[in-house]
Amino acid sequence: MRILIIHTVYRFKGGEDSVVLNEMELLKSAGAEVELLQFSNAGNTLLKVLQLPFNFSSFIKTKKKIASFKPDIVHIHNLHFAGSPSVIYAVKKSNIPIVLTIHNYRLLCPSGTLFYNGRIYTRSLVHNFPIDAVLKGVYHNSKVLTFWVSFSLLLHQWFGTWTLVSRYIILGQHAKEIFSDSKLKSITEKMFIKPNFCFESATPADQMGAYYLYVGRLSEEKGLNLLLDAFSENGLQLKIAGGGPLQNEVMARCDAYPNIHYIGNVDKTAVNSLLKDAIALIFPSEWYETFGMVIIEAFSAGIPVIATRLGQLKFTIKNEYNGLLFQPGNKDDLSEKVLFYDKLSAEQKKIYKRNARQSYDAQYSPAKNIIELNNVYEDALAGNR
């Protein structure tokens, strides 16, 4: 099978980029011919934003790539914003089935996260044109940019662009439920729930670890302020890895509290090394995460996860099995759960660690994922025929 992967990279590398690289490696190892057509949001930003509804350059590049590679199927990950929905029209002109992975909520709300002003924001879900989101400027705190993103989404709802996709991959049950109750509920009949996977990040070790760990974007919706407040009080060792708008706040807390350590932006190898020596991963996100790659990377290393009881997280983490869940936005509950785990005996912690690894083997391993991915492709090809 010949598979063309199409993806637009953001300025800051994130989980979506890791998913793309993982799936390409997985497909190649299974014998597929795979090529990547990648767009970038860096450079000529204003021109790319203006072409958000239909980027003619991306349309032409996609047509040329299809003509040269002649794929059996096209798998799209991210089109925002340099790719644009023009890519979908370029593929359909060749009558090739399209699979699209939904990594966020951009099709439903210009925020992309359903998070605004420190809380869950769902007012865009049922309105074709999200006037409230525009007035609030939920996209980059700009009413103009929010309007333009919203207008582009409305145009493609009118044109039926999203109906041209053969099959959608949604990463979890919670995200599918949100789409089922939204203005795009019609596309849910094309959705397959297929979680992400990761290659084994580290051999699970018997030692109990030396610190708690956060890995990810340093931003409000990720729960960084909650995390910092909790560990400023409990005195337990915490390492933070990543970059983002709250980096200065993190560094200030490190100066004030010697138990908090900022590692900075790190590559995959460094993340694996950090996981190996962690007591548990802390995942305090305050928005409806569609997945959370670092969670399954932790599971693969036999590291339990302490996370928010919110969205897909409450399906991924089984409380008191492979981790612990705390109430969203509740610093005291987060502290309580961390202290509860910290006081467990070594034998009790080993059970959590084994369960974390078993969760990875059962649901998030390469062997499991290649079967599910091929099933989606075969269904898309059958439907196209």
Q: Give 170-193 pLDDT, tens digit per residue.
A: 999 999 999 999 999 999 999 999
| Co-location of 58 and 176 in the same domain | yes
In a domain, 205, yes or no: no
Rounded CA-CA distance 108/122 in Å is 9
* DSSP SS3 for 237: coil
* Angle between helix 293-300 and helix 346-363 axes, rounded to 10 deg: 120
Whole-number pLDDT of residue 254: 97
Q: Does the pLDDT value for residue 201 go beyond 90?
A: no
In terms of Cα–Cα distance, which of 264, 266, 254 is closest to 227? Answer: 254
- Per residue in 244-267, pLDDT (tens digit) is 999 999 999 999 999 999 999 998
306: tokens are 């302490």
- Per residue in 306-344, pLDDT (tens digit) is 999 999 999 999 999 999 999 999 999 999 999 999 999
| Co-location of 261 and 218 in the same domain | yes
Which of 106-120, 192-206, 265-279, 366-380 comes out lowest in average pLDDT?
Answer: 192-206
In a domain, 90, yes or no: yes
Q: Does the pLDDT value for residue 202 go beyond 70?
A: no
Q: What is the mean pLDDT of residues 43-51?
A: 89
| Co-location of 222 and 290 in the same domain | yes
| Co-location of 184 and 267 in the same domain | no
* DSSP SS3 for 314: helix
Rounded CA-CA distance 286/221 in Å is 5
Domain span including residue 152: 2-197+366-384
Name the maximum alpha-carbon separation found in the chain: 63
* Band (205; pLDDT cuts 50, 70, 90): low
In terms of Cα–Cα distance, which of 164, 175, 180, 250 is closest to 215? Answer: 250
In terms of Cα–Cα distance, which of 104, 99, 80, 128 is closest to 23? Answer: 99
Q: Does the pLDDT value for residue 163 go beyond 70?
A: yes
Rounded CA-CA distance 350/322 in Å is 10
| Co-location of 237 and 224 in the same domain | yes
* CATH number of the domain residue 146 falls in: 3.40.50.2000
Rounded CA-CA distance 281/322 in Å is 11
| Co-location of 65 and 193 in the same domain | yes
Whole-number pLDDT of residue 128: 93
How many percent of the chain have pLDDT more than 90?
91
Whole-number pLDDT of residue 164: 97
In a domain, 75, yes or no: yes
| Co-location of 146 and 53 in the same domain | yes
Residues 139, 145, 147, CA angle at the centre, nearest 5°? 95
Q: What is the DSSP track for 293-311?
A: HHHHHHHHTT--EEEESST
How many domains does one find in the chain?
2
In a domain, 287, yes or no: yes
Give me the half-sphere count of Cα atoms (radius 13 Å) on the Cβ side of residue 246.
Answer: 20
Q: Does the pLDDT value for residue 203 go beyond 80?
A: no
In a domain, 64, yes or no: yes
Whole-number pLDDT of residue 197: 96
| Co-location of 344 and 371 in the same domain | no
- Per residue in 70-103, pLDDT (tens digit) is 999 999 999 999 999 999 999 999 999 999 999 9
| Co-location of 71 and 137 in the same domain | yes
| Co-location of 136 and 271 in the same domain | no
Rounded CA-CA distance 6/36 in Å is 6
| Co-location of 334 and 245 in the same domain | yes
Which of 56-60, 72-76, 197-201, 376-380 comes out lowest in average pLDDT?
Answer: 197-201
| Co-location of 260 and 344 in the same domain | yes
In a domain, 74, yes or no: yes
